[in-house]
Chains A and B, each alone.
Chain A
Amino acid sequence: MPDTPQARLVVNGTPRSFAGDPRRTLLDFLRLDLGLTGTKKGCDHGQCGACTVIVNGRRINACLSLVAMHDGDDVTTIEGLGSPEALSALQRAFVTHDGFQCGYCTPGQICSATAMLDELRAGWPSVVTEGLSGPSDPSDDELRERMSGNLCRCGAYSNIIAAIREVLQTEPREASA
């Protein structure tokens, strides 16, 4: 019989540990055990992106992951990207461009966009990229496809794209700060 699962992970720069019921999802661990309620639960089934966090530099859905599986991982949530006093470039751009209405999807949108800009820089293809080469100058369609894992019930999509485009154009290197 295996012991109670253990995981040591780093969340927003702080070492954390988990030992308990293996049913704990990463999302519930962040929200309920660590009190990091910036990460939202929308569907709890991988369909909306509200729970998007960045693990080892990659965006994932925290709702479809067991925290026990994250031993040794480095997790960044919206709280780790910036603070009210020191917003990240994307956080600032979402404010400037009104990239939200109710704000429920916003932490997921911003975590997702942060990692998405890194994927663009790494030259990752998307299904709308002609010839599967990473685009140097992504179109709005390209950005929409790359953000398709984040739904916004309020329909703030055009302002979300405007915010991302501003960061893409003005601070291509600092976007993932």
Chain B
Amino acid sequence: MREFTYSRAASLDQALGTHARPIAGATNLVDLMKLEVETPDALIDITRLDLSRIERAGDGVRIGALVPNADCAADPLIRRHWPVLSSAILAGASPQLRNKATTGGNLCQRTRCGYFTDLSTCCNKRTPGSGCDALKGVNHNHAILGTSDACIATYPGDMAVALAALDACVQIQGPDGMRQVPLREFHRLPGTAEAPDNVLQPGEIITAVTLPAPPPGRQIYRKVRERSSYAFALVSIAAVIKVESGLISHARLAFGGLAHKPWHDPAVEAALIGQPPGQAVFQRAADILLKDARGFGGNNFKIPLTRRTLAAVLIEATRD
């Protein structure tokens, strides 16, 4: 690990506008600092800030940036009204990690591309302009949607996939005030890989994630992975679906493991709404979702896997 200075923020103001990197649960940042993939020269410990509450906000809820993932998943309000969020969190990492991982840190976790964490390889994300060894290398867990020639990494998290299906907003505090970013616009596509993972600017702090009123219908999180626990998603789907009088009346779908951000495509939802549930409709939704999908060898299997997982989720979501 490279040397760094450490300080503890006693107030939010102290954490804003500084070049020091915020550290919260430490489970991603310390991991990457040990590998010297991350080399901040200053850390600011934000864990003492008052950002650990889950509170009602109108008909919705405000989840503080420092709420541990385990607490969010176990919260009675979240379990009752936004169960897809509990399920997504519980499908990720391990109980020990979920006890430390925080809402804000989870959103900012970095890709699990094996080249990104191996300093002996070429990786545009780690070393801009060096190339991308994943393009022709081991890429079974890489993206099939929204890729670029510079980077085909995925955003690996689960929680954010559920948040994307729940129309969540990220509250960000900077030295000049607060801004709100819809979760679906928080993470970025790779484009030129020098571009950062998300829209957070240095000196800004995520203070909370907000959810609007609970959506109608059934909520499901389905994660397909290489072992049944403690593994990242190959493909995951967060679904909120309501069927009324035999027709799908509400549909929200977000996908993990497919892209550099939780993937959301309004055309997929539009293809479902107003239709009777059934294989023909489900396959059409998959056709739309995967229209521009592209495999890179090792991850070609994700295209049929996504199609089958989507059908399975929609069958479960629309069953009587």
Chain A residues engaging chain B, CB cutoff 8 angstroms: 1-2, 5, 21-23, 25, 44-46, 49, 52, 58-61, 64-66, 68-69, 71, 112, 116, 119, 122-127, 132-133, 144-146, 148-150
Contact = CB atoms under 8 A, between A and B. Distances in A.
Contacts of A149: 93-97, 230
Of the listed residues A23, A46, A123, A125, the one surrounded by the most CB atoms of chain B closer than 10 A to its CB is A46
B94 A22 contact: no
B88 to A, nearest CB: 9
Contacts of A21: 3
A127 B96 contact: no
A17 to B, nearest CB: 15
B100 A127 contact: no
A146 B73 CA distance: 14
Contacts of A146: 95
B45 A69 contact: yes
B279 interface: no
Nearest to B117: A45
B6 A49 contact: no
B31 A64 contact: yes
B96 A60 contact: yes
Contact of A46 (B5, B23, B47, B97): B97
Main secondary structure of the interface of B (DSSP, over half): mixed
Nearest to B2: A23
Given A68-B45, A127-B91, A145-B229, A52 B23 contact: no
B45 A2 contact: no
B104 interface: no
Interface in B2-19: 3-8
Interface string B21-34: 00100110011001
A125 B90 contact: yes
Contacts of B79: 125, 132-133
A132 B95 contact: no
A132 B70 CA distance: 13
A127 B6 CA distance: 36
Given A125-B73, A125-B90, A132-B87, A23 B96 contact: no
B51 interface: no
A66 B6 contact: yes
A5 B44 CA distance: 11
B99 interface: yes
B94 A49 contact: yes
B178 to A, nearest CB: 26
The 3 closest A-B pairs by CB, nearest first: A149-B94, A22-B6, A148-B229
Contacts of B74: 122-125
